[in-house]
Amino acid sequence: MKRKVTKIVIVLAILVVLVSIFYVVVTMAADRGRPYYENAGKIVWDIKTEEKIIALTFDDGPHKKYTNEVLDLLNKYDAKGTFFVVGEQVEKNPEVILRMYEEGHELANHTYSHPFKSTVPQLMEEIEQTNDAIFSITGYAPKLFRPVEGLYTDALIEEVVKDGYKVVMWSWHLDTEDWKDPGVKRIVDIVLKGSRKGNVVLFHDGGGNRKQTVEALAQILPVLQKEGYKFVTISDLLQVQQKSKVQQENAGKS
């Protein structure tokens, strides 16, 4: 009886050790979260600033009709947007890409075929393909990348950063979910109630019927402008972040 108990204790002890090893391995392999990537400056969600600035971002375009309508609205309110474009659509709509570029908006990479499942090498190839397409139209090579659905792995981020890109997400509370056609009012409410200094808003100008997005934007822009917001590109936002970091460092020194 005593030997049986000892045996059970030994088996249990081994199990505990195995489970702990497994847990440690899994934790180490798990993808790093926001605090790590934000501090490392590899991914940006939004920034802390006292300046009344906000970045409007548009995914999945360009689209011949909706993107042009978005651009008309942005221009009307002296707003700059950042467009995370899909390579396939870039090739179909080069004139829209050229217009974005010439009107001072920021072009950014959102893969070539918008795959929902893909390997890192495949994604790297898609990113390069899209950048080539944008470069051949504008002579400009984007420096920003947004993964499909904002999903990433450590392996992907490492590769993308190694290639000189910064990864851009969005303020989680400013995901308009406009691709679900939630209604113009819902999109307007999310943005107007949630907007804070240094935030990043997520819209979609392609990938389907974006009538609601355009109508919502027409209501959002004048209100935020009246509140004193300036609409800047992601690169502008990053510059402001950089400037305040330097100021903080200098303040710490003196």
Helices 66-76 and 94-102 meet at what angle, rounded to 10?
Answer: 10
Catalytic residue among 60, 110, 204, 205: 204
Q: Please choose, out of 2-10, 40-48, 60-68, 232-240, the segment that lies near Zn ion by the rule CB under 5 A.
A: 60-68
In the complex with Zn ion, which residue's Cβ is closer, 46 or 60?
Answer: 60
Q: Which of 130, 108, 125 is nearest to 59 (CA)?
A: 108
Q: Which stretch binds Zn ion (CB under 5 A): 9-17, 58-66, 135-143, 155-163?
A: 58-66
Choices 20-28, 57-65, 97-105, 187-195; region in contact with Zn ion by CB under 5 A: 57-65
Closer by beta carbon to Zn ion, 13 or else 151: 151
205 binds Zn ion (CB under 5 A): no
Of the listed 46, 59, 60, 205, which one is catalytic?
A: 59
Residue with the CB atom nearest Zn ion in the bound state: 59
CB of 105 to Zn ion, least distance (A): 17
Phi-psi domain of 104 (left: phi exceeds 0; alpha: psi -120 through 50; beta: other): left
State which residue, 123 or 224, has the beta carbon closest to Zn ion. 123
Query: E strands within 13-172?
Result: 43-44, 53-59, 81-85, 106-109, 144-145, 166-168
Q: Is 174 exposed, middle or buried (0-12, 13-18, 19+ CB in 10 A)?
A: buried
* Nearest distance, CB of residue 237 and Zn ion, angstroms: 20
Is-catalytic flag, 59?
A: yes
**Beta partners for residue 54, in sequence order:** 199, 231
Residue in 63, 62, 38 with CA at minimum distance from that of residue 48 = 38
d(CA 213, CA 220): 10
CA distance 181 to 176: 10
What is the smallest separation between the CB atom of 120 and Zn ion, expressed in angstroms? 18
The total number of residues shown for the chain amounts to 254
Is the Cβ of residue 179 or residue 229 nearer to Zn ion in the bound state? 179
31: which residues sit within 8 A by CB, 6+ positions away?
152, 153, 154
Stretch that binds Zn ion, among 37-45, 52-60, 172-180, 232-240 (CB under 5 A): 52-60
Q: How far is CA 123 from CA 26, 32, 46, 109, 226, in A?
A: 24, 19, 24, 11, 41
Q: Does 60 bind Zn ion (CB under 5 A)?
A: yes
Smallest gap from Cβ 114 to Zn ion, in A, equals 6
User: For residues 63-102, which are near Zn ion according to CB under 5 A?
Assistant: none
Q: Which lies closer to Zn ion via its Cβ, residue 25 or residue 151?
A: 151
- Residue from 43, 54, 56, 59 touching Zn ion (CB under 5 A): that is 59
Judged by the rule CB under 5 A, the positions of this chain that interact with Zn ion are 59-60
**Residues annotated as catalytic (active site), given as ranges:** 59, 204
